[in-house]
Structure 1
Amino acid sequence: MYKFWMSVYKEILLLRRDFGGLVILFVMPLVLIVTITLIQDSTFKSVTETKIPILLVDNDKGEIAKNVKENLIQSGTFELLTEIANKPITETSAKEAVFKGEYQLAIVIPERISSDLQLKINQNVENILSSFGMQDSVTMPKQQELSPKEVRLYFDPATQLTFKNGVKNAIDKMISQIENKSIYATFQDQLGETDEPLFEQENFISFKEIVPKVDDKEIVPNSVQHNVPAWTLFAIFFVVVPLSINVVKEKSQGTLVRLITNPVPYFIVILGKTATYLLICMIQFWLMVAVGVYFFPYLGLPVLEVEGTLLLMSIVAFFSGLAAIGFGILLGTIAKTQEQSAPFGATSVVILAAVGGVWVPVFAMPKVMQYVSHISPMNWGLNAFYDVLLRNGTILEILPEIILLLLFFLITIAIATVYDQKKRAV
């Protein structure tokens, strides 16, 4: 036990020699999590709370244009503009303004779309009634040829695809509802006036989102619940860099050889490094949680709800720290110089974060990358955090991820030990 504590003390002395690096190890993740969360939260609010100005060119002046305007205003997402610099907007000016990036969207409603749609519906209804013998086909006027109408949408080339698809689906839904109502009304007129409406125009099928609840309160995910676990894992795994550098230093300066010839078993050296850096990982985790709970509300961000989940989150952070330490020791054992360990360690952590879903959700990745993500320890840790925070998971439900993180630690330590023994034997 004495040798273990002396090994821990030795690691602390090494860290004290680079006090600036130790401070950065704690401060930079805090700056990162605050910055990323503010950006993502403001982006979320810009879509849900702030109205997006869009240009509307109404060449129709009819019922469809009126309904489109009303629906867009009622959505609460858009601010409709029909003038630029006190001048009515034309399709040409709207196109130029959008393609220059001044606005994200312009909607151009063509001429006579309302009247032509009604005429087309009248013709179709007359044909249907005539086929049932309810109208005299001889007295029916010759039907006018009508060309299809297009509601043209101009998007800023930098606009995200999800925004484009959302707008197109919303407008398509508006037009479909208008068409359906016009068809029902036309049938009503052709069949004659009645006291009661023949067709119910209320939607028969609707959608209702069912969300999980705890104590009759809905669990609504926010930017904080996604960012704190993700960037905490990123910070924890970044201990790979200083840990691998220290391992390389010990080899190059001969410290490791002197420790082993004392004699100190190699597993005691590994255990001392593990305990020291695991304490750093847990301090990082608790600092991140403290920022989410106490500091974020002062920035106007949602508070991180950890009531009843802090113990399970700490367990996930503990085993994630073990996985990061195992990877750092393995990298430091294999690397010959600090110039090899530092860049490779930083790059590999970034790759593991990207593959593991820290930056881009796994479901949004290509199929191949979704399979690759399953081998990233960050993905295991992130899923465990999400199970606890968002899915109200228990210790049994996060046990598979914990076992994977522990196995990753044991395997990397075993490889590092075997590799070190072979190198010293030579």
Structure 2
Amino acid sequence: MKFIDIALKDFYQLFKDWKPLIFLVIAPILFTLMFGFMFGGFSGPGSTDQRLPVIALSEEDTQLTETILAAFSQSQVIRLEMAGTDASLESLREAVADEDYAAVLILPAGFSQQIRDNGEVTLTAILDENSTAGISIQQEIITIANRMQTAANAATEAAALYTQQAETTDNAEMDAIYDDTFAIAMQAWESPPVTTLETQTAPNGSQQSGDENAFAQSLPGMMAQFAIAGLMGAAEIIIQERKSGALDRMMGMSVRRGAVLAGHWLAMFGMIFLQFIVLVTFGQLFLRLDFLASPLVTLALSVASCAFVASLGLLIGILAKMPEQSAIFALIPMFIFSGLGGAWVPLEILGESVQKIARFTPVYWIMTGFRDILLRGAGLINIWPSILALLGFTALFLVPAVLLFNKE
């Protein structure tokens, strides 16, 4: 069959030089590692504490200070650390200046009694008000201080009620009532009546994976991006074939146009499919990505992805008249599809309008399919929308390629 001979000829031309390996294997692996570690590596973006480091210097140890420090330790903005007993205020001030800490929180001696006597909460902190971190911490301190003031008001009312009802006033007991009421009021902020609940629903018939491996985002993205980038060399073969007159000679040998197209398409498909095999194997062995948990699903999605890329490459080879144009025609869709399709960053962190536009790019469906397989253990029934979408893009690029080639 002559289309197989044409495909083998293209394969030889593609791989007789080592340079295609840069776009097909080396670059995807390097960019996968780079983007993967940027977003958290093996443990995902939620594995490290991203809160701002604040060190607390407490010069007394009372129930009130314990309650206050506990409130700061629950903050979503501040990561609280306690200063040692030998720490001086000057050394902590230098630590903020050296950016070892974003701020110092100071609870001086007599702080608890001052709150009980005055009923007002005044917090002291050392921070850089002109820095982003300093502004964020200042806002968080104000928020927590307002909650503490509400708790102090409630504790003051409770102490006043005790004074009215008690026959004799016991200062120690009144302080204990104040501290207990303050603690109860602060605990109420930890479970407010209205809360925000975030859930992630896995497709029906699939299992939610607890392993937020960041490479589940970066590897499929780089597979898709560099599959398109690798079309530059493959499309150039078609251009050189026309320029050298090889196409006319094949037509003179009664080789059908359909066989020529099929041969070039098969060569591109095979090239990208080999790339997918290498990168999937790399992810399985070295990046803890369980592609083989659903081998048939991974295979079906890979075939649909390679079919789309091969069809795009065929169209590029027919549209381009010069070798330089093949690079332009390959890089433009690569950047557009990859950027909008979520190959570089998760679409969840982008705007809603971008997420809607992304659905009209083939890379979005490649990313969605592979992420569902790797993170949610999706089966074939869950992946079929991605496969159908990619087959639709295959037809979208293949049909014009056939029509344009037959007109030449």
Percent identity over the alignment is 19
Query: Cα deviations across residues 129-151 of structure 1 (Å, max 9, x unaligned)?
Result: xxxxxxxxxxxxxxxxx9x9797
Q: Secondary structure at the match of 1:87?
A: helix
CA 1:27–1:85: 2 relative to 1, 3 Å: farther
- Distance in 1 (CA, whole Å) between partners of 2:349 and 2:129 is 23
CA 1:240–1:24: 2 relative to 1, 3 Å: closer
> Is the contact between residue 248 and residue 335 of structure 1 (CA under 8 Å) also seen in structure 2?
yes
1:347-366 to 2 correspondences below 5 Å: 347-366=332-351
- Distance in 2 (CA, whole Å) between partners of 1:216 and 1:366 is 27
Query: Cα deviations across residues 140-192 of structure 1 (Å, max 9, x unaligned)?
Result: xxxxxx9x979786478587xxx986x67865664455345434422321221
Question: TM-score, normalising length from structure 1?
Answer: 0.72
| Equivalent residue number for residue 90 of structure 2 | 87
> Is the contact between residue 107 and residue 151 of structure 1 (CA under 8 Å) also seen in structure 2?
yes
- Distance in 2 (CA, whole Å) between partners of 1:216 and 1:364 is 23
- Distance in 1 (CA, whole Å) between partners of 2:131 and 2:246 is 58
Aligned letter for 1:228?
L
User: CA RMSD for the aligned pairs?
Assistant: 4.4
CA offset at residue 120 of structure 1? 7.0
CA 1:310–1:320: 2 relative to 1, 3 Å: same
CA offset at residue 87 of structure 1? 3.3
CA 1:80–1:49: 2 relative to 1, 3 Å: farther
- Distance in 1 (CA, whole Å) between partners of 2:272 and 2:156 is 70
CA offset at residue 56 of structure 1? 4.8
Query: Cα deviations across residues 179-230 of structure 1 (Å, max 9, x unaligned)?
Result: 4543442232122179998895554557777667999985232212222222
CA 1:319–1:155: 2 relative to 1, 3 Å: farther
The answer to whether the aligner puts 1:396 opposite 2:395 as a matched pair is: no
The answer to whether the aligner puts 1:243 opposite 2:220 as a matched pair is: no
| Equivalent residue number for residue 386 of structure 1 | 371
The answer to whether the aligner puts 1:406 opposite 2:391 as a matched pair is: yes
Runs (5+) with no aligned partner, structure 2: 167-172
The answer to whether the aligner puts 1:315 opposite 2:306 as a matched pair is: no
Aligned partner of 1:283 among 268, 274, 279: 274
Query: Cα deviations across residues 104-145 of structure 1 (Å, max 9, x unaligned)?
Result: 7335669999778667757xxxxxxxxxxxxxxxxxxxxxxx
- Distance in 1 (CA, whole Å) between partners of 2:45 and 2:100 is 14
CA 1:49–1:386: 2 relative to 1, 3 Å: closer
- Distance in 2 (CA, whole Å) between partners of 1:114 and 1:30 is 57
CA 1:149–1:398: 2 relative to 1, 3 Å: same
| Equivalent residue number for residue 309 of structure 2 | 324
| Equivalent residue number for residue 39 of structure 2 | 40
The answer to whether the aligner puts 1:105 opposite 2:75 as a matched pair is: no
Aligned partner of 1:415 among 386, 400, 403: 400
Aligned partner of 2:246 among 252, 255, 262: 255
CA offset at residue 337 of structure 1? 0.7
Query: Cα deviations across residues 234-283 of structure 1 (Å, max 9, x unaligned)?
Result: 23222222222222222222222222332222222222222222222222
Larger relative contact order (CA 8 Å, sep ≥ 6): 2
The answer to whether the aligner puts 1:186 opposite 2:156 as a matched pair is: yes
Runs (5+) with no aligned partner, structure 1: 123-145, 297-302
Query: Cα deviations across residues 2-40 of structure 1 (Å, max 9, x unaligned)?
Result: 112212222112213334324652222223223332343
Count of residues in Structure 1 that have an aligned counterpart in Structure 2: 382
CA offset at residue 405 of structure 1? 0.9
CA 1:217–1:169: 2 relative to 1, 3 Å: farther
1:50-199 to 2 correspondences below 5 Å: 54=53, 56=55, 69=69, 77=79, 79=81, 87-90=90-93, 97=98, 102-103=99-100, 105-106=102-103, 121=119, 154=128, 171=141, 174-175=144-145, 177-192=147-162
- Distance in 2 (CA, whole Å) between partners of 1:78 and 1:48 is 18
CA offset at residue 85 of structure 1? 11
- Distance in 1 (CA, whole Å) between partners of 2:359 and 2:45 is 33
Query: Cα deviations across residues 360-416 of structure 1 (Å, max 9, x unaligned)?
Result: 222333344333212111001111112222233222222122111112111211111
| Equivalent residue number for residue 129 of structure 1 | none
> Is the contact between residue 308 and residue 390 of structure 2 (CA under 8 Å) also seen in structure 1?
yes
- Distance in 2 (CA, whole Å) between partners of 1:107 and 1:342 is 55
CA 1:41–1:330: 2 relative to 1, 3 Å: same
| Equivalent residue number for residue 218 of structure 2 | 227
> Is the contact between residue 53 and residue 81 of structure 1 (CA under 8 Å) also seen in structure 2?
no
- Distance in 2 (CA, whole Å) between partners of 1:168 and 1:312 is 50
